A and B are shown apart, each in its own frame.
Chain A
Amino acid sequence: DAGVIQSPRHEVTEMGQEVTLRCKPISGHDYLFWYRQTMMRGLELLIYFNNNVPIDDSGMPEDRFSAKMPNASFSTLKIQPSEPRDSAVYFCASSFTGNTIYFGEGSWLTVV
């Protein structure tokens, strides 16, 4: 069975550019999460959706970050404009009923 699929796996971009990260959750899962991981701050929950509706976006660092889930099989996390401090691994994860969550392989973002 396909797991959570994220793209791109790696991205290097220049400061000020727009970055769009994509995620396809596991089919049938009703929760979708976006996490960010850095050495300094660990794994931080940015936002999560239930049945395509954003439930809690209190972890989104600032207005430069936005996330959407237009349907049950697709979500995006957008950073505009990007800054060097946004460099991190961004994980998308999904779950059924909101308990055990399954992660994608992550999108490794470097902003120079």
Chain B
Amino acid sequence: DAEITQSPRHKITETGRQVTLACHQTWNHNNMFWYRQDLGHGLRLIHYSYGVQDTNKGEVSDGYSVSRSNTEDLPLTLESAASSQTSVYFCASSGTGTGGTEQYFGPGTRLTVT
């Protein structure tokens, strides 16, 4: 069955370190998204991609970057981790079409920045 996976599931890092969170989907979806979820803020979009070599900033992109070198993967990099980036991170993917296509979510990565 197709799926979307994230790794690691839990990560503790120190302030100032570079961190990369992996996202891999086997849906063959063109669209991929990264969100963070914090209490009181719901889901906030960090970056998204509509295909290989395409990346776009979301509403909370400062301090984060992504790259899309193939269809399956969209890694999220925190250039210099800050305590404010302690959060749960979700990756999602969706297909393309004229109708509203639902997003499928990964299980999440809980990141703690100390």
A and B interact: no
